[in-house]
Amino acid sequence: MDNSTLIFALLVLFTACSSPKQKDTVEEEKDTETPDSYPTTGTVERLHDEINRLIPTDAEIEILAEGFTWSEGPLWLEEQKMLIFSDVPENTVYKWKEGQGKAVYLKPSGYTDSKSRSGETGSNGLLLSPDGKLVLCQHGDRRVASMEAPLGEPESNFATLAGNWQNKKFNSPNDAAYHQNGDLYFTDPPYGLPQQANDPTREINFQGVYKVSPEGEVTLLTDELSRPNGIAFSPDFKKLYVANSDPKKAIWMVYDIKEDGTLQNGKVFFDATDKVGELKGLPDGLKVNADGYVFATGPGGVLLFDPMGKHLGTIKTGQATANCAFDTGGSYLYITADMYLMRIKLQ
């Protein structure tokens, strides 16, 4: 065999061996989506070093999806490895999954009547019941209801968990949280009513915080808040936090929970009224992590508090921010902010 023939044979052998590997590498890179592929926005305001225990110093706010009218009620579904959240005015629940983006998950989500009506009709807060059902605070239907379909096969088939108090229809249940004993606590501001306080169909003339037992018994806990909104428990279920989304009294309250589940010793946890108008947003949804730190949407974005109410800093989204939710492992905080779905890495 002469030299030219030998060189040609070696080239053919090299090409045959190396080409498939090059092709596999290209396909792998194409199918891999990393957080770096998302646009970023905003900043993290760090008022105390303690916030660095919660949010890495290099963490960025990522925009995962956009184009919503008013995004709300984020909820992580671990089995499906996806986030669902409400678009309240559009009467729709969306889903978002890594590598797949956004899609409609459930429609209608909060108003199931065929009659047209004004007001914010969709679902707002979303959560899972102790037996794993999707529970929705439904503005349009003015109730708290469970979806009577598997999470992986959603349908607009709902069962009422709480629809009235003393035979009077609720205003528009907004957000909710389950106590470890199975009681469901929820807030009832007027935001879903067609004309809010002037709506002739309104049956309750105050904004309440309620609980409903597993047997369906509804108890009024307080009627003293002008706009009760986000709600969450401390990790030991001995305290209840409630946001008040009134621009004239933009506060978060904290209550002690008595043995019978009612509230006592209510006091202001934090007052942000002086920031209203200066920064976008009002006290809205909130979550509490396993160490008792409070992540509360409000003026400026997501405010972080220690268990005593010290303001550690703010995830400044640049938008009026509605709600937030942890994934199962606490690796990310997902944020609904106006027309956007966002997230930020946690420690």
Tens of pLDDT, residues 7-26 = 444 443 334 333 333 333 33
Global pTM? 0.89
The SS3 assignment for 1 reads coil
Domains and CATH numbers, the chain: 69-289 (2.120.10.30)
Q: Say if residues 73 and 92 touch (Cβ distance below 8 Å).
A: no
How much of the chain, in percent, has pLDDT values that exceed 90? 86
Q: What pLDDT was estimated at residue 118?
A: 84
More confident residue, 32 or 203: 203
Q: What pLDDT was estimated at residue 14?
A: 38
Cα distance between residue 113 and residue 105, in whole Å: 19
The 10s digit of each residue's pLDDT in 250-260 is 999 999 999 99
The 10s digit of each residue's pLDDT in 34-47 is 445 899 999 999 99
More confident residue, 195 or 168: 168
The 10s digit of each residue's pLDDT in 273-308 is 999 999 999 999 999 999 999 999 999 999 999 999
DSSP letter at 279?
B
3-state secondary structure 5-62: HHHHHHHHHHHHHHHHHHHHHHHHHHHCCCHHHCCEECEEEECCHHHHHCCCCCCCEE
Q: Say if residues 144 and 212 touch (Cβ distance below 8 Å).
A: yes
Q: What pLDDT was estimated at residue 194?
A: 84
The 10s digit of each residue's pLDDT in 189-200 is 999 998 755 678
Residue found by looking up tokens 């428990």 in the block? 233
